[in-house]
Amino acid sequence: MAKIKNTGLGKGLGALLPNIEKNEKSSEIVTQFKMLPLEDITKNPYQPRIDFDPEELEDLISSIKIHGVITPVTVRKIKNGFELIAGERRLRASKEAQIKEIPAYILDVNTNSEMLEIALIENLQRDDLNPIETALGFKRLIDECKLTQEQVALKVGKNRSTVTNFLRLIKLPEDIQQALRDNKISMGHARALLAFDTPDLMIDAYNTVLNKGLNVRDTEDLVKTFNNKKQIKLSENNIEVKEPEVKDLEDKLRHFLSTEVKINTKNNKSGKIVIDFYSEDDFERIIEQIVNV
């Protein structure tokens, strides 16, 4: 089979990843397209997708039995066959459908880091992952591929604030993360719950959300109610209670900057605004957001 060049997959990582300038010193990833025996393809050790919906998988199996595999999987050549890069669900469904061969693009990928990067970004760009899988994918790109949050954002075609918001989901207790995986709560619910100070408070609020069937706005109101009670308790200890206008402005700034914001005022109407950041990338994101207003 002749090698195919000048295709999207044949131009290297630059073609797979939007808004990234191609490194002229990097070698070109050349692809082949051919039918491969399923038994020659091994699993992807860097598979970012963890959860596979059984009903969706059954639907795909039925479709493959009738129409075959329409979209090729992506693999790389290894010593004893091929290793999957992207297309885990298609590969699983094809095995269940008991077909013998599957269409595949063969990429010339030599390093494990490059393999991990392509596998993660391919899934992230197609929005195939649930929020927690996406968050863990971003974290792996940062930790294992040594990328900054801004570089991750550029590679997957999202705003850096979006990447930061996903990464914050990893701070949620495991029960709440699992609820996100299972679509019991939404990303909006999760972001609201992150406003609580401790995991125990997050869990208590999460249980209230489930038991009462609260929507995202109700969950945000739950957080505000808790904070109001907290302020009242502080007031009973001779600590100044913030005016509603100040709290409302804090909420607006917190939502706009996607981080904790506190406004401390004095009797002479002076004061200070405290903006939390959690890393150098987070600091740069906040500054960029303020400067570009």
Q: What's the N-to-C CA distance of the chain in angstroms?
A: 54
For the question of residue 88 being annotated catalytic, the response is: yes
What pLDDT score was predicted for residue 179? 93
Are 44 and 149 found together in one domain?
yes
CA distance 31 to 29: 7
Choosing from 166, 196, 224, the residue where a domain stops is: 166
Domain that holds residue 262: 243-293
Among 213, 191, 217, 193, which residue's Cα sits nearest to residue 203?
193
Ramachandran angles phi, psi of 106, nearest 5°: -105, 115
| Annotated catalytic residue, options 83, 88, 117, 133 | 88
What pLDDT score was predicted for residue 13? 36
Mean pLDDT check: name the lowest of 4-18, 28-42, 109-123, 272-286: 4-18
Taking the CA of residue 257 as centre, how many other CA atoms within 13 Å lie in the half-sphere pointing to its CB?
Answer: 25
Token couple for 197? 């100070």
Mean pLDDT check: name the lowest of 48-57, 84-93, 156-165, 169-178: 48-57
Dump pLDDT digits (tens) for 183-219. 899 989 999 999 887 888 899 889 999 988 889 888 8
Q: What is the pTM of this model?
A: 0.56
CA distance 200 to 67: 50
Are 32 and 142 found together in one domain?
yes
In a domain, 255, yes or no: yes
Token couple for 199? 């995991």
Dump pLDDT digits (tens) for 49-62. 666 667 778 888 89
Q: How many domains are there within the chain?
A: 2
The pLDDT of residue 232 is above 80: no
Confidence band, pLDDT 50/70/90 cuts, at residue 259: confident
CA distance 171 to 131: 13
In a domain, 188, yes or no: no
Among 110, 73, 71, which residue's Cα sits nearest to residue 91?
73
Q: Pick the residue with more confidence: 144 or 227? A: 144
Q: Give the CA angle between residues 117, 70, 135 to the nearest 5°.
A: 30
Are 138 and 247 found together in one domain?
no
Q: What stretch of H or E contains 73?
A: strand 73-78
What pLDDT score was predicted for residue 121? 73
In a domain, 70, yes or no: yes
